[in-house]
Amino acid sequence: MAPLKRSSSIKTASIKSPLKYALLLALGSAQADDQILQRVLVDGSRTNQLGVADAASAGSVTQDELAARTVYRPGEMLEAVPGLVVSQHSGEGKANQFYLRGFNLDHGTDLRTTVDGMPVNQRSHAHGQGWTDLNFLIPELAVRLDYKKGPYSAEEGDFASAGTASVVYANRLLQGVASLSAGQNGYGRALVADSVETQRGSLLYAIEALHNDGPFTNPDEYKKLNAVLRYSEGYANNGFNVSLMAYKADWNSTDQIPLRAVQAGQIGRNDAIDDTDGGKAHRYSLSGAWRRTNDDSASKVNAYIIANQLDLWSNFTYFMDDPVHGDQFAQPDKRVTSGVNASHSWHQHTDTGNTETTIGVQLQNDNIFNGLYSTQARRTLSVTRQDHIVESSAGLYVENNTRWNEALRTVAGARVDSYRFDVRSDLAANSGKANDHLVSPSLSVIYGPWQSAEVYANFGSGFHSNDARGSTITVDPKTGLAADKVQPLVRSRGIEFGARTAWLPGLQTSLSVYRLDFDSELTYAGDAGTTEAGPPSRRYGVEFSNYYKPLKWLSVDLDLAYARARSRGDLEEGSYIPGAIEGTGQLAVTVDDGGPFSGSLKLRYFGPRPLIEDNSVRSNSSMTLNGRLGWKIRKDLRLELEAFNITNRRDSAIDYYYASQLKGEAEPVSDIHFHPIESRSLRATLIKNF
């Protein structure tokens, strides 16, 4: 059997109790350092990152804290990342909206998201660059959430400039789980998951079914089927796993609605203008990961193939372009994404410290068919454009992590990325090929002569890719006018200074200040339902994060963030960036003494945003309070009650400002368009372990 090793490059959930560790090994049901999903194995819910993290803004959230969070939809699990807000402006099956570090990230651009090493962001997507649909996520299987912010890691490439979020699934479940949920607004969910030990490894399975209408007059009718099947052998750092995942859903959408129509009493807050909007999607994947670690080296490889399909119908401007049939449009997207990530690390010990050098390669190919159609009630009227895109990329990186002495360590790295776009459009003038490459260096300096504190200085360069169609376009297919090409890869540059301390027993505090520049800003165009490349931008910000566990049964999270985002250059329309988040806050309190009862409350503040470049129109802030009560009926049976928007606030989940035209209006009207947060609702879940 290969020896068991841990290194700073291998981050895994560990078994903290020696008694439990010995018992599990004796029973043969688990192996040390494995990815095991079991709440009782975790002593604290937020891992102390002193001596581990390379920046004050990086961290890891364990399954214990993830399980304690009250989330309305799976994507909101990412709100465990301090300063990150997850919202929705459409039906439940659509990808979420993300906000972080002064960005309106739309549906995921500049937030690199992975699940078990598989990229979730979809490049050159029909609806938005970096489309990040997390509806296939099963929260009960998540053993850890790792996050970083800023372009300071050579391992992270496309879409990673604002941050990264990596969800790790369990290899084994120490107990099977069956849960049944019911709630208001037509909510229902059933889940069964378990692990079966084989002669050499473990077979994990999970099956989920969900239905949700939401509070809308035209019910979402969201129906989801989801499944995971995983076989694993060995350890998390000396073993392998192979996984199959399947997700399928369809839904109706109540998209954002014009404020003027609500104020005039024409429609209610939960009404739709076009009640035929909606979508359907599926995602099927096959993936595998292999790791090998010995005394002086570590290797890891993961590979994946993912088949995604989305059919999406939206209408944001109503009757502005077509007063007869309306402005609904379809954005179909069908793709197969395949890739391989491989890295090898060498460890070396010195008289005063140690060093680790990692070299890695990341390959990805997307074979994409997408389009833009004019539709009425989901029936195609005309084709605006159809495209076949082959987008291929190769990334090579090297990173050195050296501890020079007890107080000082550095992380220096660089990556080279090369992209190739091949676009075959139904309009020959928009077909073509494009290539681009970038070199992205990074450096982190960590100084910690103190036992309970560290300070950090981070410098780095990153990028995001633009839509492949923008790199070859010459004619706007909708208007027939000449169109400008965009740069395929857009550089970002970041600087961050921070500190982390655990000076008070049970308290973890981090503070970071940063600046992030982009050579071109991606912004959302409400009348087109897409993102557009805009002028250069600059952001300054500060983040203050705290996790306090003063008592064994009590934990408190307080996260605050502020950002200032502006376009650079002399812009006549103004320098504010529409939708750029300015302030966020989160306060969460969890009570659990191990007895029959437990509970948690989470207050989330989503600050106001400029909605137009001159800042003359702004959104209001919103605040939501969610809570959970748990009752352990017996050792293997518990009941959980969840409450959302407890104070029943009538806030917006999201706001846009653009022109639209309602039936009967003589001309377009510029107005705020908003999607309401869901009204107060309750859910009950019965959970049986076996």
Contact 247, 283 (CB under 8 A): yes
C-alpha distance across the termini of the chain, in Å = 31
Residue 128 falls within a domain, yes or no? yes
Residue 10 falls within a domain, yes or no? no
Q: Is 550 left (phi over 0), alpha (psi -120 to 50) or beta?
A: alpha
Average pLDDT over residues 240-252: 97
**Secondary structure class of 77 (helix, strand, coil):** helix
**Secondary structure class of 268 (helix, strand, coil):** coil
pLDDT at 376 over 80: yes
Average pLDDT over residues 265-275: 96
The residue ranges of DSSP E strands in 377-505, in sequence order, are: 379-403, 408-425, 432-447, 453-465, 489-501
pLDDT at 43: 38
Average pLDDT over residues 41-69: 79
Name the band, by pLDDT with cuts 50, 70 and 90, for residue 525.
Answer: low
Report d(CA 498, CA 477) in Å as an integer.
47
Distances (CA, A) of 375 to 312, 658, 668: 11, 21, 20
Q: How many CA atoms lie within 13 A of 479 on its CB side?
A: 7
Average pLDDT over residues 177-203: 96
Nearest residue to 167 (alpha-carbon basis) of 34, 261, 282, 77 = 77
**What is the β-pairing status of strands 379-403 and 681-689?**
unpaired
Residue 525 falls within a domain, yes or no? yes
Report d(CA 300, CA 340) in Å as an integer.
11
Reported residue count of the chain is 690
pLDDT at 241 over 50: yes
pLDDT at 13: 35
Q: Name 75's Cβ contacts closer than 8 Å, sequence gap at least 6.
A: 86, 95, 96, 134, 135, 137
- pLDDT tens string 279-291: 999 999 999 999 9
Distances (CA, A) of 457 to 64, 156, 448, 492, 563: 30, 18, 12, 17, 19
Report d(CA 585, CA 269) in Å as an integer.
26
Distances (CA, A) of 301 to 238, 287, 387, 488: 12, 11, 33, 28
Total count of domains within the chain? 1
Name the band, by pLDDT with cuts 50, 70 and 90, for residue 433.
Answer: very high
Q: What is the layout of strands, in order, in the sheet containing 103-104? A: 85-87, 97-100, 103-104
DSSP single-letter state for residue 45: S
- pLDDT tens string 123-181: 999 998 999 999 999 999 999 999 999 999 999 999 999 999 999 999 999 899 999 99
pLDDT at 12 over 90: no
Name the band, by pLDDT with cuts 50, 70 and 90, for residue 531.
Answer: low
Task: Print burial letters for 461-487: b (CB count within 10 Å at least 16), e (below 16).
Answer: bbbbbbbbbbbbbebebeeeeebeebb
Residue 13 falls within a domain, yes or no? no
Residue 5 falls within a domain, yes or no? no
Average pLDDT of every residue of the chain: 91
Name the band, by pLDDT with cuts 50, 70 and 90, for residue 569.
Answer: confident
pLDDT at 17: 36
Residue 428 falls within a domain, yes or no? yes
Q: Name 482's Cβ contacts closer than 8 Å, sequence gap at least 6.
A: 474, 475, 476
| pTM of the predicted protein model | 0.91
Residue 1 falls within a domain, yes or no? no
DSSP single-letter state for residue 46: B
Average pLDDT over residues 62-91: 92
Average pLDDT over residues 619-635: 95
pLDDT at 14 over 60: no
Task: Print burial letters for 357-367: b (CB count within 10 Å at least 16), e (below 16).
Answer: bbebebebbbb
Q: What is the largest CA-CA distance in the chain?
A: 80
pLDDT at 58: 95
pLDDT at 34: 52
pLDDT at 46: 65
The residue that leads in pLDDT, 485 or 1, is 485
pLDDT at 392 over 70: yes
pLDDT at 594 over 90: no
**Secondary structure class of 518 (helix, strand, coil):** strand
Name the band, by pLDDT with cuts 50, 70 and 90, for residue 36.
Answer: low
Report d(CA 467, CA 339) in Å as an integer.
19
Q: Is 64 left (phi over 0), alpha (psi -120 to 50) or beta?
A: alpha
- pLDDT tens string 447-460: 999 999 999 999 99
pLDDT at 41: 33
- pLDDT tens string 207-226: 999 999 999 999 999 999 99
pLDDT at 1: 35
**Secondary structure class of 25 (helix, strand, coil):** helix
- pLDDT tens string 461-518: 999 999 999 999 999 888 888 888 899 999 999 999 999 999 999 999 999 999 999 9
Q: Name 647's Cβ contacts closer than 8 Å, sequence gap at least 6.
A: 624, 625, 680
**What percent of the chain is modeled with pLDDT above 90?**
84
pLDDT at 238 over 90: yes
pLDDT at 15 over 50: no
CATH (domain of 351):
2.40.170.20
- pLDDT tens string 299-354: 999 999 999 999 999 999 999 999 999 999 999 999 999 999 999 999 998 888 89
Residue 8 falls within a domain, yes or no? no
What is the sign, positive or negative, of the torsion defined by CA atoms of 526, 532, 538, 540? positive
**What is the β-pairing status of strands 278-293 and 239-252?**
antiparallel
Structural domain for 79, as ranges: 18-689
Residue identified by tokens 């909101």 is 76
Contact 547, 508 (CB under 8 A): yes
Average pLDDT over residues 109-115: 95
Report d(CA 673, CA 380) in Å as an integer.
26
